[in-house]
A and B are shown apart, each in its own frame.
Chain A
Amino acid sequence: MSTATDNRRKAPAGERVADWADGRLGIYSLAKANMRKIFPDHWSFMLGEVCLYSFLIIILTGVYLTLFFHPSMNEVVYHGSYVPMQGMRMSEAYKSTLDISFDIRGGLLLRQIHHWAALVFLAAMMLHMMRVFFTGAFRKPREINWLFGFLLLVLGTFTGFTGYGLPDDLLSGTGIRIAQGLILSIPLVGTYISMFLFGGEFPGTDFVARFYSIHILLLPGIMLGLVVAHLILVVYHKHTQFPGPGRTEKNVVGMPLMPVYMAKAGGFFFLVFGVIAAIAAIATINPVWAMGPYRPDQVSTNAQPDWYLGMSEGIFRAMPGWEINIAGHTLVLGVFIPLLIFGLVLTAMAVYPFLESWVTGDKREHHLLDRPRNAPTRTAFGVAWLVMYGVGLVNGGNDLWATHFHLSVNSVTWFVRITFFTAPIVAFIVTRRICLGLQRRDRDKVLHGRESGIIKRLPHGEFVEVHEPLSQDQLFTLTSHEQPKPLELEPEVDENGVTRKAGASQRLRAKLSKGFYGEGTHIPKPTAEEYHEITSGHGHH
């Protein structure tokens, strides 16, 4: 006992602090499990970190902004330093935003960092989600984390929108007005929700204060919880990795957290912050002073939401004006249908992992990623989804496309009305074919080697390109993927002669499974026999 005490006395200060903490928090056990945790190196694995860090940047700058922003719609007359607003009536919210921009040193910078980081946050979530989708990283055991990520995207969108509405300028007020119009279109309860949300008629005097507490407290609070859960699951599941020599479903190959990833990931936070700060120094975002205070009878063209709602804006613009009156009630389909479509497009993304595992019957854990070409159907679905989203997004700015490319805004809208449905189908077919083409190329590469670019003249005068055989590493990497078989329906008559009909859902499942994995969905991998036959014989041709 006494020796132990002696040892402790001699231990360096850092260790003594760690001992103290361990006695209360058990940090040594935690560190044993995690200090040398392995992270694989790949740039696309850093996209989630971009999201995390921009989220942190938003929180840091947002806290600063709350120190100066007045979430109030009381009207005041402006006498600040921005001349073109002198003597204008405006809400305190708008006035304090002008003050942050013009009278508080660094206020404009922090406002711009906050807003740019928000756009980057949502863009990075989208890109991160694409990476996870196209590599199949959402498969078991990570479906729940996919849902957490999806919820973060949705909540991020709402948080962004409520923030966009806070300055109470003409652009944001127009956006809120549109949102109120959408709410009114909800059958049965639309007017009630609108009255309750706005404390009466639009615009009223409440919504800035209400949106403020939603924007800075409610939604970020939930998001913070989800982010923590998302990260805990990432650590718990350990990271996925791309296939390659020595990488299996049972291990994860990369660099340890301490010290490499502490430096890389920690450093990356500063890199992200630095890049966004530089952007905020160079480019304006949301110049509220140019837009004027909100008045419900004023408007400007280019009234668009931030990009993450551009797709919904686009489908609202493309929708024909359908409206049905039945028995004294109005169904505002022209507004309500796009609202539903937007919800459905998002939900499709959320449920895809469950759909895929049901269709393919694959209930195993997956830690090795798919190359997108090796899962042609999934890749094609993803591209089709993106094309649909992109077409909607394009129409969100249809007026700008029209003026910049000298087109008619009506034609752009009609173009989008048609391509919103047709382009995803085309994209699906084309993508799948491209994937098969790439598979075919992989197969050729394995069997015939890499085209070296060296031209050789044979004795009889023929010119040939020398094909270099691939290394064992490359051969393994190109052939290690699975090629699943479609699910088969159980025979309708079993061996005892008892007829059992497959249910409708069973038949659908088999059909979809065939679509996923059946004929024409993959190019057979080269087998070792084929390889030997070609390489042992007369060399390359």
Chain B
Amino acid sequence: MKKLSARRRHPLAAVVVLLFALAVTGGLYAAFAPADKAKADDTAQSLAIEEGKKLYSVGCASCHGTGGQGSSDGPSLVGVGSAAVDFQVATGRMPLQQQGAQAPRKKAIYSQAEIDQLAAYIASLGAGPVAPTKSQYSPDGADIAKGGELFRTNCAQCHNFVGKGGALSNGKFAPSLENVNPKHIYEAMQTGPQNMPSFPDTTMSEKNKKDIVAYLGAVNSSKSENPGGLELGGFGPVSEGLFAWVFGLGALVAVAIWVAARTAKAKKS
């Protein structure tokens, strides 16, 4: 302790402390950052469509197996349907960049035509949810209010009141739905990607899904209105509290400093 005390005025002390703090922060982050591997999707079987199969064997087979049967690195794709393929590939979640708690949304690397071929191939492996047509997910004729109620019953628990996203266990998360293509929202409900449960047409009708998509378009897109002003992320009281402390009280303290400060004195000659 004595030695340490003696050296604390060393010019490099601050640098050492800073490096140490950074190392600790980094170490803690590494220790706490979620590294759980995504568990494999449930499901099993096979057949082929030429183009899709070619694309598949280049881009997907290393994890999902040559015939879509799955491997230790990726779930079986038999019976997941074209909707699942369209969702996963068109939102850039697949192909996966690295193993992690969950595949994040990225820029898609396949063209829509290629995605359709892939989807056709996977759909041929086993029957599953079919990618929706435009009339199914377009908000025309949908009931926004009903969509809101359905959203609060089925979706808000993970995705937040207006779809800003939220945390799940062990580093998984429900992503923000802001500006997500309505088609992909529809497909996600159909197929239940990753840890999201599915909401098949048997329990959530096509009309229900359409209403939900319309509600999200109304409250969570770049066009949605926030009459009160800055949305502050839409995360509720946590961001509001932070704002009140930093900008509210911060501004008032700045004002108080001005009120109480000495007025500049005339310089004595």
Contacts and interface: CB of A to CB of B under 8 A. Distances in A.
Given A108-B227, A284-B230, A412-B32, A306 B161 contact: no
A229 interface: no
Nearest to B168: A409
B243 interface: yes
Nearest to A411: B32
B157 A46 contact: no
A133 interface: no
A410 B228 contact: no
A284 B243 CA distance: 10
Contact of A302 (B161, B215, B219, B227): B161
Contacts of B241: 119, 306-308, 310
Nearest to A294: B152
Contacts of B252: 50, 120, 124, 271-272, 275
A44 B160 CA distance: 39
Contacts of B166: 301-302, 399, 403
Contacts of B51: none
A234 to B, nearest CB: 16
Given A84-B218, A283-B243, A408-B34, A302 B164 contact: yes
A89 to B, nearest CB: 9
A406 interface: yes
Contacts of B48: none
Contact of B159 (A279, A301, A307): A301
B156 interface: yes
A115 to B, nearest CB: 8
B20 interface: no
B228 to A, nearest CB: 3
A410 B36 CA distance: 12
B235 A302 contact: yes
B238 A310 contact: yes
B26 interface: no
Interface in A286-319: 286-287, 289-292, 295, 297-308, 310
A276 interface: yes
B191 to A, nearest CB: 22
A57 to B, nearest CB: 12
B148 A88 contact: yes
B33 A407 contact: yes
B161 A304 contact: no
Interface string A397-433: 1111011011111111001000000000000000000
B244 interface: yes
Nearest to A276: B248
Tell which of B156, B226, B252, B262 has the most Cβ of chain A within 10 Å.
B252
B171 A298 contact: no
A290 B171 contact: no
A264 B259 contact: yes
A259 to B, nearest CB: 15
Interface in B159-181: 159-162, 164-171, 173-174
A396 B36 CA distance: 24
Contacts of B235: 302, 400
B144 interface: yes
A399 B33 contact: no
A88 B152 CA distance: 13
Contacts of B24: none
A83 interface: yes
Contact of B240 (A44, A267, A276, A285): A285
A272 B254 CA distance: 11
A119 B240 contact: yes
Contact of A415 (B32, B34, B230, B255): B32
Contact of A46 (B228, B242, B243, B256): B256
13 contacts: A47-B256, A49-B256, A84-B144, A88-B149, A101-B227, A119-B248, A120-B248, A268-B255, A275-B252, A301-B158, A306-B237, A402-B171, A408-B169
Q: Which 5 pairs between the two chains have the least Cβ-Cβ distance? A: A307-B241, A284-B228, A301-B166, A119-B244, A399-B167
Given A268-B255, A283-B247, A400-B235, 10 more contacts: A42-B260, A50-B256, A123-B245, A171-B161, A290-B234, A292-B161, A300-B152, A305-B237, A399-B167, A408-B32
Interface of A: 41-47, 49-50, 83-88, 101-102, 108, 112, 116, 119-120, 123-124, 127, 170-171, 264, 267-268, 271-272, 275-276, 279-287, 289-292, 295, 297-308, 310, 396-400, 402-403, 405-412, 415
